[in-house]
Amino acid sequence: MTAQKNPEVDLKLHYQKNLELGFVLALIIVLGTFQSLRKVTLGKHEFVTPDIKIEVEEIPPSEQIKRPPMPARPTVPIPTEDEDVPEDETIETTEIDFDNIPDPPPEPVEEDPGSYTFIPYDEPPEMIGGMAALKKHLVYPEIARKAGVEGVVHIGVLVDAQGNVAKLQVLKSSVSNVGFEEAAMKALRQVKWKPAFQRDRPIKVWISIPVKFRLQDAPS
């Protein structure tokens, strides 16, 4: 009796052998490839540098602005031993006293002042005969004498360049309404005057004259 082969069993046996054989062949191929790679040498590589042309363009010179020349420094003379150096002079300081500065000379006055105004002069006007001449023309007011009143009246007198009384003005009166003002002005009109002078020329000026009224001077 002849034994029959089982194809499935044969396939398994051949498969195992074929698998082992495939592994061996694959290993041989890998090793051969590795050995061949080790023997490969790198060839020499030549690096070619491309020719680069550099063109130089001429740039025209820029125009420079000329600055004005600096001024020359002043030369300082160097002193030498042979030079005669003058000694330092001491300048005394002058102290100015502003309180005692003389007033400028007054200008001549030509206008006619309408009211009492101080006008500068070199020489004041004067009553010819003084206060004694004024008392001769002074009359004590009757009302003031009977009331026993005394007082002082300040009269502004405008004396012209000829020595005449041009105008009278009551400046101040200690007692009013008793006739002192009228009596004083009447007496001053009758007095002769010497005019004031400015720069050796007669001028018209105002002057204040105090006129005193005392009962002892009044007629009894």
pLDDT tens digit sequence for 41-64: 444 555 555 565 666 566 666 666
pTM of the complete model: 0.47
Q: Where are the domains of the chain?
A: 126-217
20 phi, psi to nearest 5 deg: -65, -40
Task: Say how far apart CA 78 and CA 187 lie, in whole Å.
Answer: 87
CATH class held by domain 126-217: alpha beta
Using one digit for the tens of pLDDT, what is the confidence trace for 158-208? 999 999 999 999 999 998 899 999 999 999 999 999 999 998 899 999 999
* Confidence band of 8 (pLDDT split at 50, 70, 90): low
Task: Say how far apart CA 33 and CA 26 lie, in whole Å.
Answer: 11
